[in-house]
Amino acid sequence: MIYRLALAAGIAALSGCAALHSTNECEANFSSEGSIVTGKKFSTTSMLPSISPNLAFQRLSAVMLEEGFHIESSDPHRGLISAYQDVNYSSKRAPLNAIVEAASSGTKVTLVFVVAAGIYAPDIGARGEFCKIINAVNAN
């Protein structure tokens, strides 16, 4: 009985480490370019070691829909998702593109979000949303 309890605790601890790893990697790989005057581009990548590319693609599509993105196109064979969100009080759109790739250590997910000039988008908000999306894909 103690052995089973120790095994369950060990698995739970490792699961937490995997989620923590993807969060830290997501944050560490986050970058932004541009300004409110020129427009901004945000991007990040994260490895999901225990998820196949097909499963990651399915989960990512579902999470993006749950987060309010409209999926314009998706190609599961190439691992590409092109989506957007409408910008409040504007006719502009904010596109989010996702790439899901097989890698030697699992699946690599790349997110790229572009904001048009004149739209305020703080780095902390984009980084938080990216990592929330990636963690949801990793946790489902």
Say what the pLDDT of residue 87 is: 81
* Tokens describing residue 14: 């490792």
pLDDT in tens, 12-33: 333 344 444 456 899 999 999 9
Say what the pLDDT of residue 6 is: 34
pLDDT over threshold 80, residue 10? no
- What residues contact 37, with CB distance under 8 A and at least 6 apart? 117, 118
Collapsing DSSP to helix, strand or coil, 71 comes out as: strand
Residue 94, domain CATH: 3.30.530.50
Q: Residue 52: which domain range?
A: 2-139
pTM for this one? 0.80
pLDDT in tens, 81-130: 999 998 887 788 889 999 999 999 899 999 999 998 988 889 999 999 99
What domain count does the chain have? 1
Q: What are phi and psi of 61, to 5 degrees?
A: -60, -45
DSSP string, 26-59: HHHT-EEEEETTTEEEEEEEEEETTS-HHHHHHH
